[in-house]
Amino acid sequence: MLSKSIEAALNKQIRIEAESSQAYLAMAIWAEVKGLEGISSFMYSQSDEEREHMLKLVKFINERGGHAHISELNAPNVTFTSYKAMFEKLLEHEIFVSESINELVHISLQEKDYATHNFLQWYVSEQIEEEAMARTILDKVKMIGDDKGGLYLFDRDIKQLTVSSAADTPGA
């Protein structure tokens, strides 16, 4: 059985994951309108992934005897000055999500809720990957600079971008 404080904290995370999905959907739409098909496809996929993260939390809360809540969401930013600014926002957002997950882990340990702590380890690993991917993308974007040919290749190649984190490395 979940404590009321853990249930409330997990419900807060549901909102964060839902807002993440909406933010990445807005980024996908912005990129699509700009003709950046690869970036758009990548962002649509990220949006779907965030929704899956939200649903995983919903199921966990309900399975542990709590009650998941869906709340009103803050509207995401829908315009960006450049694709670089958009990816900077992506990294900033992933760092925010990581901090939120870390706070949840802290609460679960304080309350000695080891089932929730164990469940949250998947999110901790996921955030390591998400931040690594955002940093890798930003490194590539900075390398491209204002080169339109580089942007063309980046837009084409981002569809296949995957980043393996240190957590995935054998022996790490």
Place of tokens 């690869």: 38
Q: Is 63 annotated as a binding residue?
A: no
Q: Is 131 annotated as a binding residue?
A: no
Alpha-helical (H) ranges within the chain are: 4-33, 37-63, 83-110, 114-144, 148-157
Q: Which CATH architecture has domain 4-70+79-164?
A: Up-down Bundle (1.20)
Q: What is the pLDDT of residue 159?
A: 77
Q: Is 53 annotated as a binding residue?
A: yes
pTM listed for this prediction: 0.89
What is d(CA 9, CA 1) in angstroms, rounded to the nearest whole number? 14
Q: Is 127 annotated as a binding residue?
A: yes
Q: Is 94 annotated as a binding residue?
A: yes
Q: Quickly state the pLDDT bin for 165 (edges 50, 70, 90).
A: very low
Task: Note the pLDDT tens digit of each residue in 54-89.
Answer: 999 999 999 999 999 999 999 998 999 999 999 999
> Which residues lie below 8 Å from residue 94, measured CB to CB, with a gap of 6+?
127, 130, 131, 134
Q: What is the pLDDT of residue 71?
A: 93
